[in-house]
Structure formats: C-alpha cells, structure tokens
C-alpha cells in the first residue's frame, strides 16, 4: 500500500501536508509514504493542484484531507487480520 503526497516548494498548505504524511508514516508502518515535489516528480494528469494525496493510485484529496477521512480511506484498504 502506498500514499503519495505531491507538494510544491513555497506552497503554504504543503507544510501541513508533509506533517500529515509523517503522521501516516508513523501510524501505518507497513505503508509506503512518499512526499514528492511536483517540480522534481510530476504526477501526471491526476496532479493539477498541491497538495494532492494519492492512495494506491487513486486521488483521495486535493488539498489537505480531514484526518478522520484519511484514516478511514487507509483502514478501508488494510487487511483487518494483519493490522
């Protein structure tokens, strides 16, 4: 499972996006979490605003997501027998 968070240098909302990505990384150690700068790693057609959160290839949030919604999206993909 992977969460990609696209940010841009100078974006005032992206600092919070990085914090959210770090929280997810700590809370879900089996998940791969990547913070990507759009200047260095363009996200294709799915990334046209920053921050953009992509979970397993699906855009789940343009802008910073609500923590509870993000947690529900992640936990909806987790195998309850494993985590």
> Does an H or E element contain 70, and which?
helix 67-75
pLDDT of amino acid 45: 82
Bin 21: left if φ > 0, else alpha if -120 < ψ < 50, else beta: alpha
Residue of 20, 69, 83 lying closest to 4 (CA atoms): 20
10-residue mean pLDDT profile of the chain (83 residues): values are 96 96 96 94 86 95 94 84 46
pLDDT of amino acid 82: 47
What pTM, to 2 d.p., does this model score? Answer: 0.89
pLDDT of amino acid 83: 41
- CATH number 3.30.365.10 is the correct assignment for the domain at 2-75: no
């Amino acid at each position: 499972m992977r969460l990609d968070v696209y940010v841009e240098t100078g974006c005032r909302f992206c600092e919070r996006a990085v914090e959210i990505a770090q929280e997810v990384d700590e809370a879900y150690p089996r998940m791969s979490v990547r913070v990507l700068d759009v200047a260095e790693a363009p996200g294709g057609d799915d990334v046209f605003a920053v921050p953009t959160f992509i979970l397993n290839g699906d855009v789940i949030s343009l802008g910073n997501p609500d923590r509870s919604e993000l947690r529900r999206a992640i936990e909806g993909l987790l195998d309850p027998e494993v985590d």
